[in-house]
Amino acid sequence: MSASARTSARAASLNAGRVLTELIRDPAMLGMEMLLPVFFLFLTVVGYSRESLPRTWIVEAESSALAARPGLEEAMRAARHSDGRPAFELEAARDGDGPGAAAASRRAALVLRQGSDGSLVLEGDAMSKDYVAASNRIEELLDDLEPERAGGLRLVSAAPAFRSPASDFEAFVPGMMVFAVLLLIPQTALIVGRDSRRGALDRLSGAGMGAAAYVGGVALSQAAFALAQGVVLVALSLAIGYPFGPAPLAAAAGSLAILVLLGLGSVAQGLVVGAFAKSDSSAINVGSVVAMMQVFISGSFFSMPAPVVASIGHPGLASYAAIRAYDFVPATHAVDALRRAMLDGGSGAAGPVAAMTVLTLAYFAASAAFFRRRFMRPR
């Protein structure tokens, strides 16, 4: 190791100690970093059902709508969830005569109607999870019955790559963990914003601390918190009875590694946000927006459409591959990897973990570059 690298490593470790000491002594920051994750998991335990998911959807169907599509009624009655329960329970709706009893009492996921132009209308509350899931399933059945609906091409339909969550509880715990770790983004940005606002960056720079040493120091201290957060989150998940796949301890260890890696990715993004923040408040505001946006686009709680940035092949072909906006977010890959680790022993998690690693390194490199440009050199 060269002398300058040794000096830089020493400065980074001193800075890490400084940041860590300040954080540990700040009840608000400590609470945000350590108590919020606990609170989030507590919310999941009390807020989400452990009952099996998905439910059997009640569908009211007009007889004319079914008659116009031979085979649909049989396909719906035969459709099963992965655990063998029926997917649909069909009830009759009177043709063109308003909702039946199930729809009126909102028990029905949706109502199938025959449109005046001959189309099939799926009527219901489009914001309801049951409506979305049931209508997707009906569309799949229709694709099987009427391949020409997809332009003659059979839509690619893959079986889930890993065991699907069996309940809301199983589905949302990994998302909640990701959400908690993403809060390291505003927290890290706040540390940097505070140093920037009070002129500490000039003082540190005057003492010979470079951008890499500063970024490394903040990252090291926050990595310690990421590890502590991960341990707390995994231990709590075990304690509240999350079914960690076939080998719970190995799955828990894998989940911890994924959470720590996500923590590092969040710290790196926090540093990027902090490099542009002019004050504590702008740092925490922008950092919070970045974190919340990622909660949505990463699919932590529900899937979201995202614009395609680049693609190979043609939609509808098995070889089609698209890079979407959410692919640039470590949280997207973290949710994927975490669900695989927590539900299915981690099979297939290597890809998402590799993507997270690449993105984390890229964000760290970007943050060091931004710091060098904005702070740690003469203005």
Partner 1 sequence: MGPSLTLVDITKRYGEVVAVDSLGLEVRPGEVLGLLGPNGAGKTTTIGVICGLVAADSGRVLLDGVDLAGSAALRRTIGYCPQSLVVWDRLGCLEQLVFMARLYGASRADALRSGKALLAALGLEEKAGVQARRLSGGMQRRLNLALALVHGPRLAVLDEAEAGLDPQSRSLVRDYIRGLAGERTVLFTTHDMDEAQRIADRVAIVDGGRLLELDSPSALLGRYGEDGRSAPDLEYVFLKLTGRRLRE
- Binding residues for partner 1, rule: CB under 8 A, are 7, 11, 14, 17-18, 21-22, 25-26, 198-200, 202-209, 377-379
- CB nearer to partner 1: pick between 22 and 91: 22
Of 175 and 210, the one with the shorter C-beta distance to partner 1 is: 210
Whichever of 154 and 203 has its CB closer to partner 1, that residue is 203
Cα gap 263→224, rounded to integer Å: 10
Cβ 210 to partner 1 shortest distance, Å: 9
Q: Least distance in Å: CB of 24 to partner 1?
A: 9
d(CA 101, CA 98): 10
Closest to 270 measured CA to CA, from 292, 293, 288: 288
Q: How far is the CB of 14 from partner 1 (least distance, A)?
A: 6
CB of 188: closest distance to partner 1 in angstroms?
Answer: 17
DSSP letter string over 288-338? HHHHHHHHHHTTSSS-----EEEEES-TTSTT-EEEEGGGG-HHHHHHHHH
- Which is nearest to 97 in space by CA: 67, 62, 59? 62
Structure tokens that stand for 88 in this block: 């649909």
- Least separation, in Å, of the C-beta of 314 and partner 1? 53
In the complex with partner 1, which residue's Cβ is closer, 234 or 284? 284
- Least Å distance, CB 199 to partner 1, is 4
Q: Which is nearer to partner 1, 173 or 211 (CB)?
A: 211
Q: Name the residue nearer to partner 1 (CB basis): 40 or 214.
A: 214
Sequence-distant (≥ 6) Cβ neighbours of residue 273 within 8 angstroms? 185, 186, 188, 189, 192, 283, 286, 287, 290
Half-sphere exposure of 260 (CA within 13 A, CB side): 15
Residue nearer to partner 1 on the CB measure, 188 or 269: 188
Per-residue CA distances from 215 to 176, 188, 218, 358 (Å): 28, 10, 5, 18
Compute the least distance from the CB of residue 284 to partner 1, in Å. 16
